[in-house]
Amino acid sequence: MHSLKRNFLLLALLWTGLLSVLLFLNVREIQKSPAQQAEIQAKSLINSVISFRSWASHFGGVYVPVSEQYPPNPYLKSPKRDLTTTEGDKLTLVNPAYMTRQVFQDFHGKEGLNGHLTSLKPLNPSNTPDAWEAKSLESFERGSEQAMTIEQTSQGAKVFRYMKPLYVDDNCMKCHAEQGYKVGDVRGGISTIIDLREGDAIAARSIVSLMWTYGLIWLLGLGGLYIAFRRAIALETEREQKLNLLHVSENLAQEFINDMSELSTLEESFSALANMLEKRDPYTAGHQKRVADLAEKIAQELGLSQERAHGVRLAGLVHDIGKIQVPAEVLNKPGQLSELEMSLIRLHPEVGYDILKAIRSPWPIPQTVYQHHERLDGSGYPRGLKGDEIIQEARIVAVADTVEAMSSHRPYRPGKGLEAALEEIWQQRGKALDPDAVDACLSLFRNKGYQFP
Ligand code: HEC
Ligand SMILES: [Fe+2]
């Protein structure tokens, strides 16, 4: 149960961890995307500016009509800078840098268009690079082909900056040769700035919706896990309950065995057996105990050793134990028993013998039980033994059994009383019953004032 909980906690943690990692990777990807998009945008802008510039420099600049907005370029030192057409229109030569600067000025901020043409050695002071541009230009001179960075502006905006070098080719030499440039040198660069705030806002929105999605998936997963966990717990509980039941019955059996071994003496074990039998056969309640007591006294009266007399007592305690095999309805049946029922009851000496034969003891207990219905004249059962063929213990128990049985109440007949019982054994003295045992029994009752316990 405990390990189950731990496993599910572990699974939940794993699930949480997995989703956290995935979310983290996703968020990082989304956070990077505004800069990536800005990079694409910046490259295409700069590349197209470079294309227009090289188109213009191919002609060594282009002539445009002079206007207030586009006056002649004071930095262009060329004798052919200003022309007048045959019709009298004034034209001026526009070099690529002038064109670039004007386009950037005129269209600044439109569709995100912006740019700055710079050089480490500018002809025009307004083309002076800022710190980052200067650093990039230096790196171009060392061979870099582009530069980019993300910066916080002084206005607090987050921007992406991109810059590409401009290389000197033959067309440039017309105007820049006297500055000492050679073909292939880096003449300067064009940079652009892209505001990342809008992209960041979009990214933040998609991160929020991504988090909701992940949260939902996470909860769903946890819910599924919880349901599985509850099911597993239910199964486990059921299993444990079954196991507990098993343990309970095991424990009961163990307790019984312990109890039995605590019954240290055979006497106690036999008393327990007698009690068990009497649970099923209330009419003979106490019968065995009283027979045991009387039989022991008779044995003592006959001069048997204390040891042997104790054996007689023990045999008396369980002499009817074989009745455990007789159905309770038969044992408790009032009135006459059928022949069949009678034959069932008559099996009890043999059944008792079978039950007791495994017990190791110094006394002939199984034999005594086996023979307690044998009669001196051979009229008894199960074997019809005669005289000395019946052991003395059995002959003693037979007398005690007869007296006790006759004097007490039975289901099929009322008790005849002690006097009638004593009269009966006197009648049977030397016939069915052992004469010495009968004498001893009569003496006990008549002279010694014996009474059943
Ligand atoms: C028709 C003459 C002319 C041609 C051709 C020309 N430039 Fe220039 N360039 C100028 C002049 C004049 C300036 C001065 C600044 C301005 O006009 O803003 C200049 C400025 C620049 C600047 C800006 C830095 C500064 O010095 O102010 C760069 C970079 C530049 N040119 C690169 C080139 C390259 C590269 C080529 C060849 C592809 C080229 N130019 C072709 C005339 C020319
Ligand atoms: Fe009996």
User: How many domains, the chain?
Assistant: 1
Q: Whose CA is nearest to atom 6 of ligand 1?
A: 172
Asked if residue 404 belongs to a domain, the reply is yes
The string of pLDDT tens digits covering residues 343-402 is 888 989 998 898 888 777 889 999 999 999 999 999 999 999 999 999 999 999 999 999
Put simply, whether the predicted model's pTM sits higher than 0.75 gets the answer: no
Using the predicted structure, report yes or no on whether residue 170 has a pLDDT greater than 80.
yes
The string of pLDDT tens digits covering residues 104-161 is 888 877 766 789 999 999 999 989 999 999 999 999 999 999 999 999 888 888 999 9
Percent pLDDT > 70 in the chain is 93
Give the sign of the dihedral formed by CA 150, CA 156, CA 157, CA 161. negative
So what's the pLDDT on residue 97?
93
The string of pLDDT tens digits covering residues 406-429 is 888 765 666 788 999 999 999 999
Pocket residues: Cβ below 6 A from ligand 1: 54, 57, 60-61, 73, 75-76, 95-98, 101, 117, 119, 122-124, 127, 166, 168-169, 171-172, 174-176, 187-188
The string of pLDDT tens digits covering residues 176-230 is 888 888 899 999 999 999 989 889 999 999 999 999 999 999 999 999 999 998 9
Least confident of 283-287, 303-307, 367-371, 394-398: 283-287
Which ligand is closest to the CA of 74, given by its number?
Answer: 1
Asked if residue 141 belongs to a domain, the reply is no
Distance 357 CA to ligand 1 centre (A): 129
So what's the pLDDT on residue 37?
93
Using the predicted structure, report yes or no on whether residue 249 has a pLDDT greater than 80.
no
Asked if residue 400 belongs to a domain, the reply is yes
Asked if residue 419 belongs to a domain, the reply is yes
- Expressed as residue numbers, the domain containing 362 is 263-446
Q: What is the mean pLDDT of the chain?
A: 88
Q: Whose CA is nearest to atom 20 of ligand 1?
A: 97
Asked if residue 30 belongs to a domain, the reply is no
Q: Is the peptide bond before 382 cis (omega within 30 degrees of 0)?
A: yes
Asked if residue 48 belongs to a domain, the reply is no
Using the predicted structure, report yes or no on whether residue 89 has a pLDDT greater than 70.
yes
Which ligand is closest to the CA of 59, given by its number?
Answer: 1
Asked if residue 128 belongs to a domain, the reply is no
Whichever domain contains 284, its CATH number is 1.10.3210.10
Which positions ≥6 away from 41 have C-beta within 8 Å? 112, 194
Asked if residue 416 belongs to a domain, the reply is yes
